[in-house]
Chain A
């Protein structure tokens, strides 16, 4: 073995971890890209146009929007939530327990925080790209009414991070995947269905509304709608952003602890 000169590329440690995920994804992206583009088209065509006909015939507009325009932003919100979830539970448990690729990374100059930030920044990257694709698809259905729509990819990234960070933290301390399907069935599926995703929150009786407003996805959906229509007032928008940002921040703080405990203690 001849010795090559020691040169550094100069990338910060977390970015090297991001690069690892990106390289991995580059090997397997084809299927997910197709579903990234086709899923929103199918959804908008079946629910927005199909169900939309019925809604229009019965009730006319929903919150001043056609049904298609009403659900289009929520599809972006729910999809980025699912992306944040799908990237975080099983893949992280595999990396700390089954394949142990995070343990391999922890034996290099990377610190557990670098591995965590590389992972989360990768999730954010994917959600942002997904957000761009969805924004274009939603726009092509004519469902965007404001320049604020250009913030939709950032909103998608924030939603993905808000869900991914605590789930990565949880997966990093898990010994088995048994709780994951419980989380999926009893947290994510109900959230997907009941976060005022497919109908306005005014469809709930008064006493249930505060409960729905406690659900994190509700804030993601409301934020995406605000961006798409550009007609929201600043107070609620800041509240939605704050809820998601706090989830992300708490998740990151928890993840730093669980990753460190799992990888280096």
Chain B
């Protein structure tokens, strides 16, 4: 897409957002390159949505500096928003109106002429596989279809930067994969993507690079693989014992792993070779009710960095 300016497409320095006494975002800094797919991973309440609203040039930062598309959101808000696409957490669609009309009415906000609106709506209905539902009421669509329509709507102005806040929350696995696939295609076409999510698999799948947020601060930054390599072991052994609380398990598990995390419903052993560890446990006479070996994920990175799980 055109209007390429040199330097990052978005740059934030010491960004702070306060609501009265509550500090939602506590001085975050990051830079996003053109064509990149950048993620904000963190639990609910980490400050992701407040950050999103600031980088959408909607809400004003309390302090810090922010440059979007080389412009200043404090003075060039309308121009910036004209070149962004925003997929909010809630779909905010007009349920009583048709799928097509939802696109065309929204496109009007960008001052797009009627003729062009019609063409773009057709293209985007094809792209999001909603062409057959074009004349149906939005109310009759499934959750996944509504989500795709919200994405189509955000693309009506052919944005250079697409910002998605929790794009697949509440969708079933099939709908999620279809949506991810569409987002890959946009990325291949050169659209810069910014995604917030509290699903680690989504972050791993979609993001070239991400920051992990917690309590309004960035606690780690990098490509998903690097973060995992840096903050976790290669594999994880999940053990469940037949007990009320796993805090009560009194076994010398730390002898078998580089690190042990005790969660209410399971115990995690951080190791390099999970199968070897399982054998060693058996030999030592430790027999859990169930055991599972898996690769380390961003969930483990988050647990390591914050001592808490992403999804409660």
Query: Which A residues fall within an 8 A CB radius of B?
Result: 1-11, 13, 16-17, 19-20, 23-24, 27-28, 99-101, 103-111, 263-265
- 5 A-B Cβ contacts within 8 A? A11-B111, A17-B109, A19-B105, A27-B96, A107-B88
Identify the B interface with A (CB < 8 A). Answer: 1, 19, 56, 58-60, 77-79, 81-82, 84, 86, 88, 90, 92-97, 101, 104-106, 108-114, 116, 119-120, 123-124, 127, 153, 155, 157-158, 189
**Min C-beta distance of B151 to chain A, whole Å:** 12
From known contacts A2-B123, A3-B158, infer whether A109 and B90 are also in contact, taking CB-CB under 8 Å.
no
Contact A100 B90 (CB under 8 A): yes
Q: How far is the CA of A104 from the CA of B78 in the complex (A)?
A: 14
Is B109 in contact with A99, judged by CB distance below 8 angstroms?
no
> Which of A2, A10, A20 touches B105 (beta carbons < 8 Å)?
A20
A110 — nearest CB in chain B belongs to which residue? B109
A101→B78 contact, CB < 8 A:
no
CB-based contact B56/A1 at 8 Å = no
What is the CA–CA distance of A99 and B90 in the complex, to the nearest angstrom? 9
Chain A residues with Cβ under 8 A from B109's Cβ?
A: 16-17, 20, 105, 108-110
Q: Which residues of A contact B81 (CB under 8 A)?
A: 107-109
B186 to chain A, nearest CB (A): 9
B111 touches A20 (CB 8 A): no
Contact A7 B116 (CB under 8 A): yes
Query: Would you call B59 and A264 a contact (CB within 8 A)?
Result: yes
Contact A8 B111 (CB under 8 A): yes
Q: Which residues of B contact A105 (CB under 8 A)?
A: 109
Q: Chain B's nearest CB lies how many Å from the CB of A193?
A: 33
Across-interface contacts of B84 in A (CB, < 8 A):
107
Q: Quick one: closest A residue to B57, CB to CB?
A: A107
Q: What chain A residues lie within 8 Å of B189 (beta carbons)? A: 1
Whether the Cβ atoms of B79 and A107 lie closer than 8 Å is no
Q: Is the interface of A mostly helix, strand, loop or mixed?
A: loop
- Tell me, in angstroms, the Cα distance from A264 to B189 when the chains sit together: 31
Q: Closest Cβ of chain A: how far from B82's Cβ, in Å?
A: 4
Closest A residue to B157 by CB, please name it: A108
A24 to B97, CA, bound (A): 8
A131–B179 CA distance with the chains assembled, in angstroms = 49
Q: What residues of A have a CB within 8 angstroms of the CB of B123 in the complex?
A: 1-2
Residues in A neighbouring B110, C-beta threshold 8 A:
108-109
The answer on a CB contact under 8 Å between B108 and A16 is yes
Is there contact, CB below 8 Å, between A4 and B116?
yes
Whose C-beta in chain A lies nearest to the C-beta of B186? Answer: A1
With A7-B113, A7-B116 known as contacts, the answer to whether A264 contacts B58 (CB < 8 A) is yes
By beta carbon, the residue of chain B nearest A111 is B78
A108 to B94, alpha carbons, bound, how many Å? 16
Q: Is the CB–CB distance between B111 and A107 below 8 Å?
A: no
Q: 15 additional contacts, CB 8 Å, given A9-B111, A16-B109?
A: A2-B123, A3-B1, A4-B120, A7-B112, A11-B108, A20-B105, A23-B101, A101-B94, A103-B92, A104-B88, A107-B84, A109-B111, A110-B109, A264-B60, A265-B60
Q: Which of B59, B110, B123, B189 has the most A CB atoms < 10 Å from its CB?
A: B110
Given contacts A24-B105, A109-B78, contact A10 B111 (CB under 8 A): yes
Q: Which 7 A-B pairs have the closest CB atoms?
A: A108-B109, A109-B78, A104-B92, A107-B86, A100-B92, A9-B113, A109-B82
The listed residue (B59, B94, B153, B158) touching A24 by CB distance below 8 A is: B94
Residues of A within 8 Å of B124, CB to CB, are 1
Q: Which residues of A contact B58 (CB under 8 A)?
A: 106-107, 263-264
**CB nearest neighbor in A for B113:** A9
- Choice from A6, A27, A104 contacting B101 with Cβ under 8 Å: A27
Q: Which of A1, A5, A7, A99 contacts B94 (CB 8 A)?
A: A99
Does A8 lie within 8 Å of B113, measured CB to CB?
A: yes
- The CA of A203 and the CA of B123, in the complex, are separated in Å by 66
Q: Considering the complex, give the chain A residue whose CB is closest to the CB of B191.
A: A1
Contact status A109-B101, CB under 8 Å: no
Given A24-B97, A109-B79, A99 contacting B111 (CB threshold 8 A): no
Q: In the complex, what residues of B have CB within 8 A of residue A7's CB?
A: 112-113, 116
| Chain A residues whose C-beta falls within 8 Å of the C-beta of B78 in the assembled complex | 13, 109-111
Q: Contacts of A264 on B, CB cut-off 8 Å? A: 58-60
CA separation between A7 and B111, bound complex, in Å?
8
Distance in Å: Cβ of A93 to nearest Cβ of chain B: 14
> Which B residues are in CB contact (< 8 Å) with A20?
105, 108-109
Most buried by B among A3, A23, A108: A108
Residues in chain B near residue A107, CB distance under 8 A: 56, 58, 81, 84, 86, 88
Q: How far is the CA of A165 from the CA of B274 in the complex (A)?
A: 66
